[in-house]
């Protein structure tokens, strides 16, 4: 054989042997050899222990997540499934004069279009039902939904919502919660006041406490609006059967409440609704109520096909709940020894355009605001106020991280002023077993001091100070 022929022979790829020989460099599209699933499931020992509590048991879904086999909603598809998109207002406060969907309906591939007036009961909310599924008359924040479209591909749906023409009459808007508390500020949900909920806690006599204090500290703290940014966006699929029963797969953390809300907004009995909560890729509070599900259900009913809706990352910021920014005024009176004698707190929560979980956040923030300290004289007043911004709702902590930032910052300032070790001033004031909370509750299983001591020992706090 000549040299050229030898090279050709050497370079020739024999497909019947090549796929089995890992040494041969294949200039072919990558072919992943099929591995059979192991018959013996490898089970870490902790899951086999019969004293189960206290075991570092690995999660049953860990293997599925690692191999990429978990089915999130975006991984699910059904025959004939359509994709939905929602048109966002883009304007913070306006009256809707007209919505023209004819151009969108004319696009080939668009199977259903929905506007707010077609929704049987166009309002929902965990405590105040002030949020529309799709706005029909007025828009309250820039991320509000005004129409929804279901089409055979996402791109067509995206194009269709651009073609929907909405005429707005701009209205005044208010964005600062402290300003919004004034009587003459623009009323977001007119004619009611912008302050839609208040809470107060009063214990002892703060005036007397301040009179007896050696030092008084007054500070204002503010926090920002934050978004959960869970890896998986809000997603849902709605499908009807011939008996008028709707099944909704959703990323919602509260499926019972979701079913109740769908029953209410669609005016249906609960027995005709099935909500399936799939494995959710992170919730952190943002997925505790319905968002697009009633719209998807109605689009599905109109089109006669399953409809999937997945929020874009942009919509996660503009159109889903966020953390309440809070303006916190703290006035604390202490003795020379560092004992807190009185504390007065005023919280103003930015409640966004709709209530959502604000009442709960208000309650928790108010109750937790004095901190885990034995204080005989406490006044805590909290207000939550409408503004024309993205609605604020549940987010990991419900107001606690904000007030903790305030009371713990002030604590260190007090320690510095009195020349005390920040650890010692906290140990002096902290709750112990049987302490009375600001609401008068007798606390049990209290380990504040133990947690302070454990963390300080581990951090080597005393050495770090020197």
Partner 1 sequence: MWYPIGFTVAANPSSATVRVNEDGTAVLLTGTVETGQGSLTVLAQIAAEALGIATDDVHVVSADTDTTPMDTGAIASRTTYVTGNAVALAAEAARDILFDTAAQMLGVKASQLEAKDRKIHVKGFPQHAVAIGDVAQRSQFVLGQPSIGSASWNPPTVAMDPETGQGKPFSTYVYATQIAEVDVDDETGEVDLLRITAAHDCGTAINPMLVEGQVEGGISMGVGMALQEEMLFRDDGTHVNPNLTNYIMPTSLDMPEIDVDIVQGFDPTGPFGAKGVGEPTAVPTAAAIMNAIHDAVGIRITSLPATAEKILMAIKASREQEQKRLSA
* Residues from 367 through 426 that contact partner 1 (CB under 8 A): 367-368, 371-372, 380, 388-390, 394, 396-398, 400-401, 404-405, 407-409, 412-413, 416, 422
Binding segment toward partner 1, per CB under 8 A, in 101-109, 113-121, 290-298, 360-368? 360-368
- From residue 5, alpha-carbon distances to 1, 2, 9, 27, 160 in Å are 6, 5, 6, 20, 61
Q: Which of residues 164-193 bind partner 1 (CB under 8 A)?
A: 173, 175
From residue 87 to residue 126, the character string flagging contacts with partner 1 as x (rule: CB under 8 A) and all else as - is: ---xxxx---------------------------------
Binding segment toward partner 1, per CB under 8 A, in 23-31, 101-109, 141-149, 296-304? 141-149
Q: Which of residues 447-466 bind partner 1 (CB under 8 A)?
A: 447-448, 450-452, 454-456, 458-459, 461, 464
Are 281 and 73 a contacting pair, CB within 8 Å? no
Q: Where are the beta strands (DSSP E) in 260-414?
A: 273-277, 307-310, 326-334, 340-350, 377-385
Provide the minimum distance between the beta carbon of 148 and partner 1 in the complex, in angstroms, as a whole number: 19
The tokens for 357 are: 């979980």
Are 285 and 228 a contacting pair, CB within 8 Å? yes
Q: How many residues make contact with partner 1 (CB under 8 A)? A: 120
Q: Which of residues 253-272 bind partner 1 (CB under 8 A)?
A: 253-257, 259
Q: Which of residues 57-86 bind partner 1 (CB under 8 A)?
A: 57-61
Contacting partner 1 (CB under 8 A), which of 69, 77, 335, 441?
A: 441
Q: Whose Cβ is closer to partner 1: residue 109's or residue 281's?
A: 281
Q: Whose Cβ is closer to partner 1: residue 143's or residue 338's?
A: 143
Q: Which of residues 262-321 bind partner 1 (CB under 8 A)?
A: 273-285, 287-288, 313-318
Q: Does 243 bind partner 1 (CB under 8 A)?
A: no
Q: Whose Cβ is closer to partner 1: residue 28's or residue 447's?
A: 447
Closest CA to 360 of 164, 155, 127, 88: 127
Q: Which of residues 329-358 bind partner 1 (CB under 8 A)?
A: none
d(CA 68, CA 279): 13
Residue 4, beta-bridge partner list: none
Are 323 and 389 a contacting pair, CB within 8 Å? no
d(CA 438, CA 368): 8
**How many other CB atoms are there within 10 angstroms of residue 151's CB atom?**
27
- From residue 78, alpha-carbon distances to 74, 91, 311 in Å are 11, 35, 19
Q: Whose Cβ is closer to partner 1: residue 61's or residue 117's?
A: 61
Q: Does 227 bind partner 1 (CB under 8 A)?
A: yes
Q: Does 18 bind partner 1 (CB under 8 A)?
A: no
Q: Hunting for tokens 């910052």 — which residue is that?
A: 409
DSSP run (H or E) holding 70: none
């Amino acid at each position: 054989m000549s040299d050229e022929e030898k090279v050709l022979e050497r370079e020739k790829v024999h497909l019947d042997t090549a796929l089995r020989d890992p040494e041969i460099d294949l200039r072919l599209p990558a072919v992943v050899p099929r591995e059979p699933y192991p018959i013996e499931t490898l089970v870490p020992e902790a899951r086999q222990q019969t004293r189960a509590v206290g075991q570092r048991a690995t999660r049953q879904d860990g293997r599925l997540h690692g191999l990429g086999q978990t089915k999130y909603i975006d991984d699910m598809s059904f025959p004939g499934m359509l994709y939905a998109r929602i048109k966002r207002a883009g304007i913070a406060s306006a009256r809707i004069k007209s919505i023209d969907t004819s151009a969108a309906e004319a696009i080939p591939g668009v199977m259903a279009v929905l506007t707010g007036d077609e929704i049987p009961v166009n309002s929902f909310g965990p405590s105040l039902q002030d949020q529309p599924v799709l706005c029909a008359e007025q828009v309250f924040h820039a991320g509000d939904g005004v129409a929804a479209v279901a089409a055979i591909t996402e791109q067509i749906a995206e194009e269709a919502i651009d073609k929907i023409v909405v005429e707005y009459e701009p209205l005044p808007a208010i964005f600062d919660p402290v300003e919004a508390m004034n009587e003459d500020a623009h009323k977001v949900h007119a004619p009611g006041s912008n302050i839609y909920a208040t809470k107060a806690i009063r214990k002892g006599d703060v005036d007397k406490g301040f009179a007896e204090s050696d030092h008084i500290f007054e500070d204002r703290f503010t926090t920002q609006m934050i978004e959960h940014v869970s890896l998986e966006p809000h997603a849902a699929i709605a499908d009807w059967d011939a008996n008028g029963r709707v099944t909704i797969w959703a990323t919602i953390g509260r499926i019972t409440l979701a079913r109740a809300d769908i029953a209410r907004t669609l005016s249906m009995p609960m027995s005709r609704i099935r909500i399936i909560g799939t494995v959710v890729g992170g919730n952190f509070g943002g997925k505790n109520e319905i968002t697009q599900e009633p719209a998807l259900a109605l689009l599905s009913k109109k089109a006669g096909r399953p409809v999937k809706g997945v929020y874009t990352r942009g919509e996660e910021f503009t159109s889903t709940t966020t953390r309440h920014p809070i303006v916190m005024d703290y006035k604390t009176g202490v003795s020379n020894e560092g004992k807190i004698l009185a504390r007065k707190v005023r919280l103003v929560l930015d409640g966004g355009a709709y209530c959502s979980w604000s009442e709960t956040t208000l309650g928790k923030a108010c109750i937790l605001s004095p901190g885990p300290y034995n204080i005989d004289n406490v006044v805590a007043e909290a207000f939550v106020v409408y503004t024309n911004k993205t609605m604020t709702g549940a987010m990991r902590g419900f107001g606690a991280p904000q007030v903790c930032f305030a009371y713990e910052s002030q604590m260190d300032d007090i320690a510095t002023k009195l020349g005390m070790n920040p650890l010692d001033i906290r140990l002096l004031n902290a709750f112990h077993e049987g302490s009375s909370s600001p609401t008068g509750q007798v606390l049990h299983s209290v380990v504040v001091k133990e947690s302070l001591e454990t963390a300080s020992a581990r951090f080597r706090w005393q050495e770090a100070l020197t």
